[in-house]
Structures are given as C-alpha cells and as structure tokens.
Structure 1
Amino acid sequence: MNTTVIDRIFSIFNTFGDIHYGEDVSQIEHILQSAHLARQDGASEALIAAALLHDVGQFLDDAGKAAEEKGIDARHEISGAAYLTPYFPPSVTDPVRLHVEAKRYLCSAEPGYREGLSRASELSLTLQGGPHNPQEMEDFLAKPGAEDAIRLRRYDDLGKRQDWPVPDLESYRPLLESLLLR
C-alpha cells in the first residue's frame, strides 16, 4: 500500500505548516479549516481530500515563497496536482488543479466575490491572470472537476479564521488511505 505517500505529505505539511504566505492563519490552519468546511458541507470524501491537499504545491520548490516574495506565480495548483496524480484519482486531483482557475471564474461570474478575497488571494489573482473573460469562463465550466473546484474554492476562501479549533491532520489519514490508487 502507498501509505508512505501520506506520511510524506503529512511531513511536508508539518515542516512548512507554520508559514503564513500573507494570510492571517498558518498554512496548516488553512488546509485543516478548508477540509473541515468540506466535511461540514457534506462534500464527498474525494472533495474533502482535495480541500486538505489543495495547497501541497505551495511547498514544492518554494512555490508559495516565490509568489509572496518575488511576485511570481509558481502555479502551485499545477505542481500540487502533478505531485498527487500518481496516488489519488482525478476526483481528488482535478479540483486541486482547478482551484485557482475557479477563483478567476468566480471573480467574473459572481458579483461581489472579488471584494471578499483576502489580501493574499487578491494579490495572487493578479499574478494568476485576473478574472476570466467570457471564453475562459465557458472553457473552465466544460472541464472535468470544475464544479468541485468551485466548491473547493469556497472552502479555500473561508478557511482563514483565526483561533478556530478543527480536527488535526492525523484525523484525515483513514480518508486519504481509502482514496489511494491501488
């Protein structure tokens, strides 16, 4: 069984989890809150896993640091999905790959959405190409996983509360193990 990949992912999160990347909460608080919001929303197990894993790419090749310190979009959603693809099904990796594009979509599709973004999300939006144009919106909605990516994006946006106690990382191990590709 590939449970060692879960150990590697948890090690990455525990090593880099105290980083804030411009947010009011640490990265570990953010991912745990995002996953908890997905659980509270009754999301599928795959979408809960995606919410937990959506920012793993921030820690690969210092992608998050590149965005924060150098103003470069290191495309953490792409590197994160690529890292996860050998181990998890598309129902997990597609929303991870599309969660940034979902933000761009929502900025165009939903009046007032952009105004609710955190400072860090607003900065990264500019680096990531800004709001979708009408053709990009249509193309995005046609992609597999787009609807789940929109749901993930909402968990991502809301998972930034200070001093919110949520279940710990280890509580997600059985869920991740159940989703591993065999």
Structure 2
Amino acid sequence: MNLDEAFDLFEARGQESYGEAITQRAHALQSGLQAERAGASAALVTAAVLHDIGHLLHRDTQAAYDSATDDRHEAIAAKALAPLFGPEVVEPVRLHVHAKRYLCQAEPGYHDALSETSKMTLHLQGGPMTAEEAAVFRRSPHFDAALQLRRWDEAAKVPDLATPDLTHYRAIARTCLSTGAA
C-alpha cells in the first residue's frame, strides 16, 4: 500500500459506519482537525487521520461489530503504515487502543465519558488495563503521543462538523513519508 492507496480507501470505503453517529471518513477528518487544533506535529496529525485505517483494511468491519469480535484494527493499521512512515506515526496508531484501556484504568470518569460503541469495543479489547499493564504502558516511548491520539479519537465523533478535506491531510502525510516510501 502506498500513500495514495491509503487515502483512496477513505474515498472508497469511508462512508461506511463503524458503530458511531458519523462515517469513518468524517471520523478520520475530525481526528486530524483535533490534532491540528492542538498544534500537533505533522506526524501526529497524520497518525490522527490514519489511526483507524485498519477498519477499512479489514474485510468486513461491520461483521466484526455485529459478531462482537475485536478486529484488531490498530495492529492491521500499524502493519500497513510501517512501510510508509516512521515510528512517530506508526506507534501512536498501534497504541491507541492500549491508550483507551490505560485511560479507563488511570482516570476516574474516562470510561463513563466514552461513546457506547467505545465502551462495547473496550470490552472486546480486554477492558481497562490492570495496574501492572498500566505501569508497563507508561514506559512506552510513545505513551504521551498515544494518549493524545486517543483523546482526539474520542472527541472526533461530532455529526456534521466542518473539517478540511482528505487532500489537505494527504499533503501533510506526504511530508511524513519515510525515505523511499511513496
């Protein structure tokens, strides 16, 4: 997969539902907007836009939701993005589910603020981390970036929110490509 193919997935399959009140494309664009508004680096903006691409790469995301199965979208996404980007993009994507599990363990009230779909998937993803898992996760070199991405992820579920388009974020992502990736 190259960069254009990655963004083309949002054109081709981005109108699909993923259990929230907005489409996958709208969620990606809103995540990028959240990151930009926070003054994030180009790499973290790119991670925010592409963090759920694993849902689009999965053969049947809706079937996974319907059957209450974790599609491991974060691992699928990280594997697909690794040939294109360095760890500053790939690792927050890979860790954003861990970040949700961590925040549910570490911050009182975080779980209650999750969308119903996020609560359901949390259960499928292993539930809140144990204290031991949280201690290990805090040592990750991408811990802070993963937490930021997770917060933007949850905030990026607003119906009809105006955002920049995919072309805007494709140009940002292009600046983050690893040498030799296209």
TM-score (norm 2): 0.95
Q: Residue 126 of structure 2 aligns with which residue?
A: 129
> In the TM superposition, what are the counterparts of 1:22-33 in structure 2 within 5 Å?
22-33=19-30
> In the TM superposition, what are the counterparts of 1:136-151 in structure 2 within 5 Å?
136-151=133-148
- The C-alpha deviation readout for 1:3-30, integer Å capped at 9, x for no partner, is x812101111111111121100111000
Structure 2 unaligned regions, length at least 5: none
> In the TM superposition, what are the counterparts of 1:144-163 in structure 2 within 5 Å?
144-163=141-160
How many residue pairs were aligned?
Answer: 179
CA distance in 2, matches of 1:63, 1:31: 18
CA distance in 2, matches of 1:100, 1:81: 12
Instruction: Report the 3-state secondary structure (helix = DSSP H, G, I; strand = E; otherwise coil) of the residue aligned with 1:103.
Output: helix
- Over 4 Å off, 4+ runs: none
Aligned pair partner of 2:54 in 50, 54, 57: 57
Task: For residue 63 of structure 1, report the CA deviation from its aligned partner.
Answer: 5.7
Task: For residue 109 of structure 1, report the CA deviation from its aligned partner.
Answer: 0.6
1:101 maps onto 2:136 in alignment: no
Contact 2:14 2:56 in 1 (8 A): no
Structure 1 unaligned regions, length at least 5: none
CA distance in 2, matches of 1:63, 1:75: 12
TM-score (norm 1): 0.95
- The C-alpha deviation readout for 1:55-114, integer Å capped at 9, x for no partner, is 010111336324312111111001100000011010000000000000000001111000
CA distance in 2, matches of 1:64, 1:71: 11
Q: Residue 85 of structure 2 aligns with which residue?
A: 88
Instruction: Report the 3-state secondary structure (helix = DSSP H, G, I; strand = E; otherwise coil) of the residue aligned with 2:25.
Output: helix
CA distance in 1, matches of 2:10, 2:18: 14
- The C-alpha deviation readout for 1:125-178, integer Å capped at 9, x for no partner, is 000000000000011111121110000000000000011111001111221111
Identity of aligned residues (%): 44
Contact 2:7 2:170 in 1 (8 A): no
Contact 1:46 1:92 in 2 (8 A): yes
Aligned pair partner of 1:38 in 35, 39, 47: 35
Contact 2:14 2:24 in 1 (8 A): yes
CA distance in 1, matches of 2:25, 2:118: 17
CA distance in 2, matches of 1:81, 1:116: 26
Aligned pair partner of 1:114 in 111, 123, 129: 111
> In the TM superposition, what are the counterparts of 1:156-175 in structure 2 within 5 Å?
156-175=153-172
CA distance in 2, matches of 1:135, 1:141: 10
Contact 1:94 1:144 in 2 (8 A): no
